[in-house]
A = this chain, B = another copy of it.
């Protein structure tokens, strides 16, 4: 019953006033692609430009949830509104989240200044990164100044989130091969701040030194990522982490890098909207789906190749006369 314009208006106003119930409903509409999706995203986007997004990533078992909860408590003590988005790797088959082992701190769950939302992957390529960006933009529209995005595991989704976040915190623990794994997964390149959590364990100092040596090889940016140590379960090192995140944000603004990233992000977003709409239009009924389906037998028989069929469709669309066979 949100399909009527009146109710959509009420919902948008509720989100803009920072009401979590309205926020949760708006997110569901967007996630489920229900009527009003585009209108919601378009109307809420301009309100969300002042939030700051911090991605927290690292291997499972690194203590990310605890660290995020402590960080949220820290921001709450400074009277900031906090959004926590947990992006879980799940089964493309069942569609449901399999991570039942997440235990959030009670005070965080019950705090009315904190909004928590979990997102599950849907098995669609590139889908989760896009979905996460949309959810983040809604949470930002509520006036939430601190958005913490926690990703579980290592993989493509971390790289997607890294593009969305202002600051990426990579959490590692002194365990066998953690540093090596992080390097393999490309985490060393996306981190703006590094945390050796569970720093009371053996090997913590060794891991810290290892990370710093690898970071010394990074010559891509002016920002030198700090390597901090925390014991999240005891709350130790959290203030320093919040300061490091703040320092990185200040650097983003003074260096112009933040502006540059926002421009890039907007460009990608517009491109994605245009391309998705065109793709949807191309293959819907009345589009070129039939032309494509009719060509299948000839491709299956080896008489045609997918490129010549694509060229036919491109020519028919009037958008492009042919594939650039020389430099495509």
Contact = CB atoms under 8 A, between A and B. Distances in A.
A231 interface: no
Interface in A232-291: 259, 262-263, 266-267, 269-271, 273-275, 277-283, 288
B35 A327 contact: yes
Interface string A295-316: 1100110111111111001100
Contacts of A292: 267, 270-271
Given A320-B278, A323-B38, A125 B126 contact: yes
From A153, A186, A277, residue with most partner B Cβ within 10 Å: A277
Contacts of A293: 267
A326 B36 contact: yes
A317 interface: yes
Contacts of A263: 296, 300
A103 interface: no
Given A278-B278, A325-B39, A305 B46 contact: yes
A183 interface: yes
Contacts of A220: 93
A328 B37 contact: yes
From A36, A38, A190, A283, residue with most partner B Cβ within 10 Å: A38
A273 B323 CA distance: 9
A91 B314 contact: no
Nearest to A262: B300
A89 interface: yes
Contacts of A278: 275, 278, 282, 314, 317, 319-320
A39 B311 CA distance: 12
A123 B158 CA distance: 11
Given A38-B325, A41-B305, A89-B185, 10 more contacts: A36-B325, A153-B185, A154-B155, A266-B300, A271-B279, A275-B279, A275-B282, A277-B324, A278-B317, A281-B320
